[in-house]
Every structure is written in structure tokens, then in C-alpha cells.
Amino acid sequence: MTLFEYFQPWEFSPVFVVVWLCVFVFYTCAIINTQAVDKIAKFYWQAISFYLGLISIYVVSHTYVDYLSQYMFWVHRLQHLILHHLGPLLMVLGGMEMMRRGLPRWWPRWSKLPIFIKWPFESLYKFLQHPVIAPVLFVGLIYLWLIPSIHFAAMLSKQLYYLMNWSMLLDGLLFWWLVLGPDWKGEGKGFKTRLLMMLVVVIPQQLLGAYLTLSSTAIYDVYDVCGRAWPISPMSDQIYGGIITWIPASMMSVLGLVLVLRRRLNFQKREANESS
């Protein structure tokens, strides 16, 4: 296969393309409309982070990589590492909230919608963003979709497969938004909570990754049923997938912990400068 063929959509998804393009256009318009000259450097690095996250999500969701993820376990784990960890984290660090500035004038404003429309969504959002629910859901979804019987069904059903990937992506965006979104500037309120959240999600991922890597038997036989895209033994496939779940995924959570500490330190420095 040529490089171009690798980046062609394997299964064209109009919903994914429309959503992806809307996010790209709204963010780009927001960057263009930003007139603050003193913040150009900041937006430059934010834009790089955001676009890298957005492009990485596209690559694992709408190219030949998506095909490989359905026929090899380790590629599937790599896909979810990007959908759930890396991509959303980069987009949040890239100032995802700026997309609001790029919305067209005809786009309905949330504040002007009737209360009976807003209330169910706002209630669900508050529930999902609770500091206890969010980390449980973040780790719980990883475990849920790796339960052998559920994983088997998801890899054989197009609807379940899409549900699995969309749920991982949306949950990743919600979790990293809660931890490192603009609502928390680094002040004391929420610091310990975010610190604890990041510590809580590391250990379960390490345990799961270690279990997959060190298991003496092949757990996911769906890849034997469908056949693997590349010649690789079932145990090697599982070990590579386990290592991805064990080390890179948990390291992403450690990175989140470092970013929380960094924001806290930056806030303390600003306070010290203002008081001096």
C-alpha cells in the first residue's frame, strides 16, 4: 500500500467527517478572529496542540488505522490511547473553549435556549463532571470495553464499535476538560481534588495493562475468528496491547498530574508577583 492509501477513509463516516470539520472550522475561525497581539505566541502553541490532537483523532478513526484496529488488538489499544488520552488532552490544552468565538452568527446560543431543553443536558453534564464520577467513568470505560464478551460483541457489530469509540472520545474530552479546562486557573480550590483524581486513574490502568501483558493465555479470541491483518501470534498481539495499556496510558495520566502541579505553581507565582 502507498502512503496515500493508508490515509484514505476505510469506512466513510459522514457523521464523523461533519463533526470533525465543524470543530476544525470553528476553532480556526476563532484563532483568526483573535485580535490580541500580546497573546499571539500563546495562541501559536495552543493551536499546534489543538490541531495535533484533532489530526491524531482523525488518523485513528477515519483512515486505514481504523481497519487495522478491528483486526489487531495492539492497534485497537493504540487507537483508544489516542481517542481517550492523547487527542482529548492536546485539544483541551489547545484552548478548546475558544471554538465559541468561531461560531457563526446564526448558530443557536446556549444561553438563549429554553430551560426545558437546557436542564436535562446541564444536569447530565454536572453529574458526569462530578470529581468522584469522572475518574470512575474514565477508568471504568476502559475496563468495560475490555470485558472479553463485550469486546467480542463490539468488534463484530458496527453499531457497538462506533458506540465504543465515540464513548471513549467523549469521555476523554470531558475528563481532561474537568482536570485542565479553563474553569480552574490553579487556585487552591480544586487543586487537591484534581491531584487525587489523577492519582486514582493511574493504578487501575497499570493493573489492567499488567494483567493483559503477563497473562499466560490469549483473552480476546475475536481476532482469531476474524483473522489478524498482519502475521502476528495471538500472545504477541495481546502482550503489545497490554504494554500500550500499561505504560503509555498510565504515563499520560502521570503527565496530567504534572500539568496539574505546573498550573498550581504558575498560579502561586502570579499571586506572589501581584502581592509584591
Grid cell digits, residue 247? 505504560
Mean pLDDT of 124-135: 94
pLDDT at 46 (0 to 100): 87
Q: Are 249 and 205 in contact (CB under 8 A)?
A: yes
**Nearest-angstrom CA–CA distance, 246 and 214:** 11
Grid cell digits, residue 169? 472520545
User: CA distances (Å), 224 to each of 52, 234, 237, in order?
Assistant: 34, 8, 11
The rounded mean pLDDT for the chain is 90
pLDDT at 171 (0 to 100): 97
- Residues 46-67: pLDDT tens digits? 889 999 999 999 999 999 999 9
Grid cell digits, residue 56? 491524531
Backbone phi and psi for residue 95, each to the nearest 5 degrees, phi listed first: 75, 50
User: Which runs of E-coded beta strand occur in 166-268?
Assistant: none
Q: Give the start-to-end residue ranges of the domains of the chain.
A: 7-103+113-275
The pTM (predicted TM-score) of the whole model is 0.91
